[in-house]
Amino acid sequence: MASTTTDRGATLEPSSHHLRAPAAPPLVLLVGNPNTGKTTLFNRLTGQNARIGNYPGVTVERRSGSSRLDGNRLVEVVDLPGTYSLSARSAEEQIALWAVLGQGQYRAPDLCVFVADASQLSRNLYLALQLAELGLPLVIALNMIDEAGDNPPNTEAIERLLGVPCVAVSARRGSGMSALLATLERALADKPTPRLHVAYPAALLADADALTASLPAPLRDTPERARAMALWALTSIEDDDELTDIDPELRRATLALRRASPRDLDQEVIAARYAYIDARLPELYKRLDRHPRKRRLSERADRVLLHPLWGFTLFMLVMLVVFQSLFSWSDPAISLIEDAFGWLRSGITALLPASIFRDFLTQGILSGLGNVLVFLPQILLLFFFIGLLEDSGYMARVAYLMDRIMKALGLHGRAFVPMLSGFACAVPAILATRTMERQRDRLLTMLVIPLMTCSARLPVYTLIIAALFPPSRVFGFVPVQGLLMVGMYCFATVMTLLSAGVLGRTVVKGRRIPLILELPPYRLPSLRGTLKMMWERATVFLKEAGTMILACTVALWVLLSFPRAPEPVTTTTPPAAAASAGSDAKARAARAESPIAQSYGGKLGHAIEPVLKPLGFDWKIGVGLIGAFAAREVFVATLGLVYGIDASDEDASPLRDRLRAETRADGKPAYTPLMGLSLLIFFAVSCQCMSTLAAVKRETKSYKWPAFMFAYMTGLAYLLSFTVFQVGRLLGF
């Protein structure tokens, strides 16, 4: 796989020739279509030192890392989001163009590397043509050359077509990498500028040239770039686009020109480019296959995998494995983490004398760390499967198979795996929405995921159902308790679908964008890439969402453990203000029978009792709800604390009996089945999970969406529980 750059063998220029200040290493951008192995190449180039950041103003992640080229020169490599074209209508799509041009807050690149899929050259070349027209210093990495079989594209012909160096590589196998590194090294010195002449219609060129006067100065530094930018404007700027940072004069002039023109400008531009490519295709290949080998094998596989019967059967099996792994296979690891923290806690408790510091360490910090780490098994497992599914090409098939159903909900087909994961846990599911390209799709999916019945709700459901519903049977054989559990799953699913429908038409409206889904050829997934992605996702979660979860755990601990001394019930301090002040003065107070009842949380429970009363809840349930904010299953333990019973989610039978026996002042049972139903519904819909909110904060990079999520879910839960309880009472239950 020898490189065919024309000046192969020329001596490398000494690095002292380069103009860059030593402080900023040269910037190399990787550009290319989706599914061209761009990220694999990025991983090859940067090894272990990739960093994840964010592009300014959007929630698209920016992956960058440093790489050493042949002459031991350090460069910074950035993996741009995959795109089919530089034309854009949203801020997300605009990233690629703004980054290659160094506009806005982007630093101008020293070199662009176009990563092409060797077996889909004609479509890939369209984007390469756009980059070349902008006159950017460019190198073509003809990737996946190993898949091109016995008919690989001719790299010299590609060099002639665009006027820049082209190197054949296989990022997956690592072949051609040294030739690529050498070419990059040389290109950083030579700045190879593309030469090409697409035969646009004369009238179109006249339009473009008229528009160049309206371009801001940096976009028209050469006549070629000015013309290319004018063509970009003509095929991107529209009345209703969502681009940012567009010069108002350029926008006005473009819209005026588009409106005035009777011609189909989009088609003129695009057809001329494809005509240029198509005319040269015969030079690029030994022969022109209508079906490249790779495609044909994939097509055979799809006859089974997309078959109405076999395809769906296999699909169900795959999804079952994913779900089962999240739901139960992650359990041993989760228990291990919980046990480890349990030992740590008891170890520290035994070692240190009783003090507020010890409690802070064990109940605040350690519990918080446990609350964060406990998500790792599910996050790692989910991203393991997502990595394999994406890499193999099957994820696109999942979207293809499920699109009909997801479309009805206003969701993208790719939302299916995150939604399914939501049945296990909302946190990894929310992280998994990243597999969707559009911000709107991600947001809508994130907002409804926490309504799915996650596994943390199960211990709560179990306790409530076992305590407050009779173990009788309907029609003599259907157990009421089992029926209720199934009912809760159905109820949650219906609520999720309804909310998706309503939110998709109101809050996250956005324009409906027609589905265009590429089904890439099947490929053997790369374990290395998958492991790397798991690692990245896990570290990002620990760093960003983790700190917030830890902080919230500590805050909840303060709320539920202070003040420590039993105090008179009448206190004038507002709980929230006092909580932040801290009060170690009364730290060593004697333990009351139920210290939690005396805490700020307990008082808060009393304070919100009037609000909860119409739902049938008393202050004790209120305290449980506050505690459950740490994690839903903590409701059981918190309620146990309120009653002074040591309850865990595995064995809550003492608490169950206590709840049954609880009576009101008039001797009637305090908790009725109606109240139980109201509580079940409240738990199904309300947003009782700070970790979910922390994950949403991390993924949307704003406090607005987690706040909205909390408000809409809790509001909806209140409304539904209120209705159920009040209507139930009127009916005499």
Question: Cα–Cα distance between 132 and 684 in angstroms, integer?
Answer: 55
Q: Which is nearer to another protein, 13 or 242 (CB)?
A: 242
Q: How far is the CB of 530 from another protein (least distance, A)?
A: 23
Residue in 288, 320, 321, 711 binding another protein, rule: CB under 8 A = 288
Chain centroid to CA 246? 28
- Output 122 or 723, the one with its CB closest to another protein: 122
Q: Which of 52, 255, 306, 531 binds another protein (CB under 8 A)?
A: 306
Name the region of 672 (left: φ>0; alpha: ψ -120 to 50; beta: rest): beta
Q: Single out the residue of 39, 40, 87, 367 in contact with another protein (rule: CB under 8 A).
A: 87
* Closest separation in Å from C-beta 319 to another protein: 15
Cβ-based neighbour number of residue 626 at 10 Å:
24
Of 200-208, 280-288, 530-538, 613-621, the segment contacting another protein by CB under 8 A is 280-288
Helix (H) or strand (E) holding 728: helix 704-730
Buried/exposed 31-42: b ≥16 CB within 10 Å, e otherwise: bbbebbbbbbbb
Closest distance between another protein and the C-beta of residue 226, in Å?
Answer: 22
Q: How far is the CB of 130 from another protein (least distance, A)?
A: 9
Asked if residue 17 binds another protein (CB under 8 A), the reply is no
Q: How far is the CB of 434 from another protein (least distance, A)?
A: 21
Query: Looking at 222, 267, 346, 648, which residue binds another protein (CB under 8 A)?
Result: 267
Distance CA 412, CA 188 (A): 41
Q: How far apart are CA 697 and CA 552, in angstroms?
A: 13
The verdict on 266 binding another protein (CB under 8 A) reads yes
Strand partners, 139: 113
Among 308, 470, 568, 667, binds another protein (CB under 8 A): 308
CB of 401 to another protein, least distance (A): 6
Give the C-alpha separation, 5 to 3, whole Å: 6
Would you count residue 89 as binding another protein (CB under 8 A)? yes
Binding mask 153-192 for another protein (x = CB under 8 A): ----------------------------------------
Q: Does 246 bind another protein (CB under 8 A)?
A: no
- Candidate list 1, 60, 198, 281; residue touching another protein; CB under 8 A: 281
Q: Which is nearer to another protein, 122 or 493 (CB)?
A: 122
Query: Which stretch, 56-64, 137-145, 158-166, 297-305, contacts another protein (CB under 8 A)?
Result: 297-305
Q: Give the whole-angstrom CA distance, residue 631 versus residue 620.
A: 17
Q: Does residue 259 interact with another protein by CB under 8 A?
A: no
Q: Residue 306 or 589: which CB sits closer to another protein?
A: 306
Longest Cα–Cα distance in the chain: 98
Nearer to another protein, 301 or 554 (CB): 301
Q: What is the rounded distance in angstroms from the CA atom of residue 286 to the CA atom of residue 272?
A: 24
Nearer to another protein, 166 or 277 (CB): 277
Contact 503, 447 (CB under 8 A): yes
Q: Roughly how many angstroms between the first and final C-alpha of the chain, as a whole number?
A: 80
Which residues, in sequence order, are CB contacts of 544 under 8 Å at separation 6+? Answer: 698
331 binds another protein (CB under 8 A): no
Q: Alpha carbon of 447 to those of 124, 372, 496, 504, 549: distances in Å?
A: 35, 21, 9, 10, 19
Out of 57, 84, 104, 507, the only residue in the binding site for another protein (CB under 8 A) is: 84
Alpha-carbon Rg for the chain in angstroms? 30
The full DSSP string for 335-347 is HHHHHHHHHHHHH
Among 199, 320, 405, 727, binds another protein (CB under 8 A): 405
Q: Does 295 bind another protein (CB under 8 A)?
A: yes
Q: Any idea what the Cα angle at residue 171 is, between residues 167 and 173, rounded to 5°?
A: 115
Which of these, 537, 572, 579, lies nearest to 557 by C-alpha position? 579
Instruction: Please classify residue 686 by burial: count the beta carbons closer than 10 Å to its beta carbon, then call 0-12 exposed, 13-18 middle and 19+ buried.
Output: buried
> At closest approach, how far in Å is the CB of 122 from another protein?
5
Nearest CA to 677 among 477, 480, 387, 449?
480
Residues linked to residue 141 through DSSP beta bridges, in sequence order: 115, 167
Tell me the sheet residues that pair with 32: 115
The least CB distance from residue 129 to another protein, in Å, is 11
Fill in the per-residue mask, 204 to 243: x = in contact with another protein (CB under 8 A), - = not in contact. -------------------------------x--x--x--
Decide if residue 711 touches another protein (CB under 8 A): no
Contact between 122 and another protein per CB under 8 A: yes
And the tokens for 608?
Answer: 């919100």
Q: Does 270 bind another protein (CB under 8 A)?
A: yes
Establish if 85 lies at the interface with another protein (CB under 8 A). Answer: yes
Q: Tell me how far, at minimum, the Cβ of 413 lies from another protein, in Å.
A: 9
**Binding track, positions 503-542, relative to another protein; x by CB under 8 A:** ----------xxxxxxxx----------------------
DSSP 8-state secondary structure symbol assigned to residue 473: E
Name the minimum Å distance from CB 172 to another protein.
Answer: 17
Q: Report, in Å, the least distance between residue 81 CB and another protein.
A: 15
Give me the residue label for tokens 């665009």: 162
- One residue of 263, 407, 473, 701 binding another protein per CB under 8 A: 407
Q: How far is the CB of 300 from another protein (least distance, A)?
A: 9
132-151 residues in contact with another protein (CB under 8 A) are: 149-150
For residues 375 and 428, what is the distance between their CA atoms, to the nearest angstrom?
7
When asked if residue 292 is in the footprint of another protein (CB under 8 A), the reply is: yes
Decide: is 82 part of the binding site for another protein (CB under 8 A).
no
From 7, 221, 249, 278, residue interacting with another protein (rule: CB under 8 A): 278
Question: What does the alpha-carbon distance between residue 621 and residue 465 come to, in Å, rounded to a whole number?
Answer: 15
Q: Tell me whether the omega of the peptide bond preceding residue 563 falls within 30 degrees of 0, making it cis.
A: yes
Question: Cβ of residue 261: shortest distance to another protein, in angstroms?
Answer: 13
Residue 298 binds another protein, judged by CB under 8 A: yes
Closer residue to another protein (CB): 366 or 389: 389
Indicate which single residue of 100, 250, 401, 495 sits in contact with another protein (rule: CB under 8 A): 401
Tell me the HSE value of 110 on the side-chain side, using a 13 A CA sphere. 20
Binding of residue 290 to another protein (CB under 8 A): yes
**Crossing angle of the two packed helices 376-392 and 310-324, in degrees rounded to 10:** 150
- Closest distance between another protein and the C-beta of residue 312, in Å? 6
Q: Is 282 in the site for another protein (CB under 8 A)?
A: yes
Q: Which stretch binds another protein (CB under 8 A): 48-56, 293-301, 441-449, 642-650?
A: 293-301
Alpha carbon of residue 369 to chain centroid: 22
Question: If you search the block for the tokens 């091109």, which residue do you land on?
Answer: 148
- DSSP, residue by residue, 441-471: HHHHHHHHGGGS--TTHHHHHHHHHHHHS-S
Q: Which two tokens mark 55?
A: 């592009």
Cα gap 108→100, rounded to integer Å:
7
| Residue ranges that bind another protein, judged by CB under 8 A | 84-85, 87, 89, 119-120, 122-123, 126, 149-150, 235, 238, 241, 266-267, 270-271, 274, 277-279, 281-282, 287-293, 295-299, 302, 306-308, 311-312, 400-401, 403-405, 407, 513-520
